[in-house]
Amino acid sequence: MQATRPKAAVFIDFENIAIAAQDAHGFFSLDAVMAEAERWGTCGVRRAYADWTRFRAYGETVSDHSLDLTQLFLPGGSRQRKNAVDIQLVVDALETALTRPEIEVFVIVGGDSDYSAVARRLRGHGRTVVGIGLKHATSPVLIRACNHFVAYGSLIGEGGATLSHDGMDAARALLLEALRRRSPRTEPGPVLAAALKHTMLSIDATFDELALGFPQFKDFLDSQADLVETRQTDQQLWVSPRQAADSAGAMDPATAYRIALRAAELRIVDPATRREVLQDLHRLLEDFPGEFSLGECVQELVSRYDAEGIGRDRNQVRDIVKLTRFADLFDPIPDAFQLDPLTLGDEVSEATFIDRCESVYLAACLEARLVMDPAVIAGLLFGSPEASDRVDQLLAVAADQLDFNGITVPESGWDWPPELVSQPELAAICREVDATALQEEPNLDRVLALADQGHAVRPKSFDQARHYFLQAAKMTLELLRSGAPGASQMDLETYVASYCFAAAGAHYLGFEYTRATEYYLAFFTLLKENRPVWDKMFGLVPPMLSYYFSTVLRALREPVAASPGFTHPANMAIQLHTHSNPEARQRWLELVADLRRVNPLMPRLVADRLVQLDEERGEQGAAQALQAMMQAA
């Protein structure tokens, strides 16, 4: 039985984070922020500060997360309101620390340097402080004051969605610098691992071994055997630098596997925990066939663990449960994992269930064309090279899972698979990628750099961003066709989706709404639950759907009641269905039909929200918009 999760409090400078996120990404995902906050502990205190008259579009979302809202509506302009937010948040955080000694973790969401003082004071009282903010908009003073800092972009799949060789090099350099600071003597001795990590975080509070694909700091250290050696003494882990360590060495197989898993949005979980959760999940699905969707399975398991006093992280449970999306387990195959109840196939025993789920990790490495070293993979996935027989057993299962998902991995001669070119909008994008001329020789490191450049410039220029994403997609295509190890279809899908996102934005801003809808539809075509691009891009789906719907009003030169980036697509659907211009309603229904054609899940997501708005909130027009959508689809 695991220890009870720590209790946490989250304080959100909503004006700071929402405006910065909207400027940088076009939308703000409170869901992503709260999921990260809950990763650090059970959030019993949830407070958000803003002039809420300016953020009415977020009313439903903040209600869903049970946030206590502090209204700060003051005369005197934005500066006075900003100061009021800062002061109130600081006072509340300190009061909570003094009156609630059981709260161990304080999550501060915002980037203002004014919060650095309270962060240091909280740490002085023995509390763990986690900062969440946009890295470019967060004061370095605040970052250094926190025990941990999480970049908002990494939560929505921007920039940090894929572990790059450069990212690992930065972590290795940080490790060496921390060792140097802890042991400045001529012959450095061993250092406690906990103290070493503390030093690393004091140098760079953004370091997070989980983001690099390691469930624990020890796993990160074990992967750096060329730099350090570890030993366990009296239940304490000690770290010593190896002589003549070379931080610029070539990528080892374990790192290559981790990069492939990270690209597939698969996080490595402690093997004992993974097996226990999979066993519990199989039992749940077997006892209650056709009753739980995938999301409901997560909720049910977490509720049971909490009731039993087992401190199991919700995000970790979600990472394990989502393996089922990629495996041949259900009959019938659900149209939507998060909406449809799941029923196991007749011959899916517990052993078969676990085999097919765990083989998903190997399938991702096979898709990336990596040479499989069973001993290394066994150490990575099962904690010991001695489990290589288990890896050999799963390799055949993994190949079957690739076939089940329609993925072929030829050594050379790769071409666009039928599922990517069967829809005309996406087929046109594939032709664009094919026709693109590369400006340099293709290699994997350069692909990652191009994608990073695309993410970096996108807040300022969709047009520049689409150029970088298009180059990254073409370079990946050429690497696939040449059979280069590490290149995979899942990466190509991600870069094509990023290109479609940027191109749609560029045409939308250029008043070319018909062209924009073509790129929106191509983007939605790629968003399939059984592919990694779903996890990387799902946070963009609500704003993309809202902008897609709003093209109707823009093309007709009708006013849009609120910015699509701040409006849920279900509310946009109500606005269009009840619009006074009958042509707007007709064109919207045509967009719904096209959406249903390329990806039936997309209109279902909107319809599901309309049901909630009708049944739970009595939203006027929700039931009528829902009926119209169902008829159009």
Quote the CA–CA distance of 555 and 391 in Å, as a whole number.
Answer: 56
Q: Is the pLDDT of residue 520 over 90?
A: yes
Q: What is the per-residue pLDDT across 93-106, written as a single tens digit (0 to 9) for each?
A: 999 999 999 999 99
Confidence of residue 1 (pLDDT cuts 50, 70, 90): very low
User: What is the average pLDDT across 323-345?
Assistant: 95
Highest mean pLDDT out of 91-100, 251-260, 454-463: 91-100
Asked which of 301-310, 435-444, 560-569 is least confident by mean pLDDT, the reply is 560-569
User: What is the average pLDDT across 577-590?
Assistant: 94
Domain 271-404: state its class: mainly alpha
DSSP string covering 525-540, please?
Answer: HH--TTSTHHHHHGGG
| CATH of region 7-155 | 3.40.50.1010
User: What is the average pLDDT across 168-186?
Assistant: 72
Quote the CA–CA distance of 316 and 475 in Å, as a whole number.
Answer: 34
Quote the CA–CA distance of 533 and 551 in Å, as a whole number.
Answer: 25
Bridge-partner residues for 238, per DSSP? Answer: 192, 231
Bridge-partner residues for 236, per DSSP? Answer: 233
The confidence score (pLDDT) of residue 477 equals: 95
In sequence order, the 6+-apart residues with CB closer than 8 A to the CB of 187 are none
Highest mean pLDDT out of 70-79, 361-370, 401-410, 457-466: 361-370
Q: What is the per-residue pLDDT across 3-41, written as a single tens digit (0 to 9) for each?
A: 467 899 999 999 889 888 877 776 788 888 998 898 888
More confident of the two residues 320 and 56: 320
Q: Is the pLDDT of residue 413 over 90?
A: no
More confident of the two residues 565 and 133: 133
Return the domain boundaries, the chain.
7-155, 165-250, 271-404, 418-632
Q: Which backbone phi and psi does 363 adopt, to 5 degrees?
A: -60, -35
The confidence score (pLDDT) of residue 540 equals: 87
Q: Which helix (H) or strand (E) holds 237?
A: strand 236-241
The confidence score (pLDDT) of residue 164 equals: 47
Confidence of residue 531 (pLDDT cuts 50, 70, 90): very high
The confidence score (pLDDT) of residue 183 equals: 65
For CA atoms 255, 217, 450, 408, give the dihedral sign: positive
Quote the CA–CA distance of 338 and 320 in Å, as a whole number.
Answer: 15
Q: Is the pLDDT of residue 474 over 70?
A: yes
Q: Is the pLDDT of residue 436 over 70?
A: yes
More confident of the two residues 71 and 530: 530
The confidence score (pLDDT) of residue 425 equals: 93
The confidence score (pLDDT) of residue 163 equals: 44
Confidence of residue 321 (pLDDT cuts 50, 70, 90): very high
The confidence score (pLDDT) of residue 557 equals: 94
* Mean of per-residue pLDDT scores for the chain: 86
The confidence score (pLDDT) of residue 220 equals: 85
* Superfamily of domain 165-250 in the CATH hierarchy: LOTUS domain-like (3.30.420.610)
Which tokens is 549 given? 């719907």
Confidence of residue 161 (pLDDT cuts 50, 70, 90): very low
Q: Which helix (H) or strand (E) holds 69?
A: strand 68-71
Q: Which backbone phi and psi does 25 adopt, to 5 degrees?
A: -125, -10
User: What is the average pLDDT across 562-577?
Assistant: 87
Q: Is the pLDDT of residue 160 over 50?
A: no
3-state secondary structure of 422: coil
User: What is the average pLDDT across 422-450?
Assistant: 92
- Give the dihedral of Cα atoms 615, 621, 622, 623; nearest 10 deg: 70
More confident of the two residues 57 and 448: 448
Q: What is the per-residue pLDDT across 187-217, written as a single tens digit (0 to 9) for each?
A: 456 888 888 887 887 777 777 777 676 777 8
The confidence score (pLDDT) of residue 50 equals: 87
The confidence score (pLDDT) of residue 230 equals: 87
Cβ burial 424-434 (10 Å sphere, 16+ → b, else e) = ebbeebbebbe
Q: What is the per-residue pLDDT across 103-155, written as a single tens digit (0 to 9) for each?
A: 999 999 988 877 888 998 898 888 999 999 887 778 777 887 888 888 887 77
Query: 7-155 with 165-250: one CATH topology?
Result: no
The confidence score (pLDDT) of residue 158 equals: 59
Strands 7-13 and 103-109: parallel
DSSP-assigned letter for residue 105 = E
Length of the chain: 633
Confidence of residue 247 (pLDDT cuts 50, 70, 90): very low
Asked which of 47-51, 148-152, 522-526 is least confident by mean pLDDT, the reply is 148-152
Q: Is the pLDDT of residue 453 over 90?
A: no
Share of the chain above pLDDT 70, in %: 92
Quote the CA–CA distance of 522 and 236 in Å, as a whole number.
Answer: 53
CA 405 to mean position of chain CA atoms = 22
Q: Is the pLDDT of residue 599 over 70?
A: yes
The confidence score (pLDDT) of residue 167 equals: 62
Quote the CA–CA distance of 171 and 173 in Å, as a whole number.
Answer: 5
